[in-house]
Structures are given as C-alpha cells and as structure tokens.
C-alpha cells in the first residue's frame, strides 16, 4: 500500500511538470512518481557499480591477479560475433598484500 508524502515544489517546477505530463498523457502525479522511480533505479545501479568496483579492487589487492585489457576486449568481440573464444588468461601482476 502506498503512503502519502508531501513535496513542496517551486511554482515554476510545478508548471513545467504539468506541461510535460500532458505531453506524455500522464497526470502530474504519475509523472513525478515515474521520475522519482527512474532516479532511484539509476542511483541504485550506480551504487551497485561502485560497490562491484570496490570489490574488484579488493580482490586484486588480495591476489595480485588481473587481466590484460586487449585480451579481454578480444574475447568480448569474438563472443559478440558468435565465435567461440578462450577466456583470457589471468596475469599475476604483483604479490598479494598480506
């Protein structure tokens, strides 16, 4: 069940929303709900992307294992073309932190 939340919007923003909502056959309310949902989704994806990057960095710092950029892109391009491609070989770039 939805809860009620009040937003205090500047008059000019309310007018802009109303005008755009009409243009996409939505009520201003539906337009704002959709806009907020899209922003939340985008921010969640960004948070998850950054977290995956932090985890990858920690893994690299722990193991010292990485992959050559050109090898990875060669593998991706081959797969996109529907070709079988061997996985890139990991490289030991430095000793792991202890």
Neighbours of 52 (CB within 10 A): 10
What's residue 93's pLDDT?
A: 84
pTM for this prediction: 0.71
pLDDT at residue 97, as a whole number: 62
Helix (H) or strand (E) holding 73: helix 69-80
Query: Per-residue pLDDT averaged across 8-21, rounded?
Result: 97
- What is the spatial distance between Cα 98 and Cα 91, in angstroms, rounded to a whole number? 19
Joined tokens for residue 14: 């309310």
Distances from the Cα of 13 to the Cα of 21, 23, 25, 35, 96, angstroms: 12, 15, 18, 13, 53
pLDDT of residue 95: 58
pLDDT at 19: 97
Residue 88 CB-density burial (10 A; 0-12 exposed, 13-18 middle, 19+ buried): middle
Mean pLDDT for the chain overall: 93
Mean pLDDT for 53-79 is 94
Position 51 scores a pLDDT of 98
């Amino acid at each position: 069940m939805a809860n009620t939340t009040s937003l205090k919007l500047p008059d000019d923003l309310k007018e802009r929303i109303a005008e755009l909502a009409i243009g996409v056959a939505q009520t201003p309310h539906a337009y704002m709900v959709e806009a907020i949902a899209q922003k939340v989704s985008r921010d969640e994806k960004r948070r998850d992307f950054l977290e995956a990057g932090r985890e990858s960095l920690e893994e690299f710092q722990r193991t010292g294992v990485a992959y050559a950029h050109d090898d990875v892109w060669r593998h991706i391009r081959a797969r996109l073309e529907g070709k079988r491609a061997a996985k890139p070989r990991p490289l030991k770039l430095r000793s792991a932190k202890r």
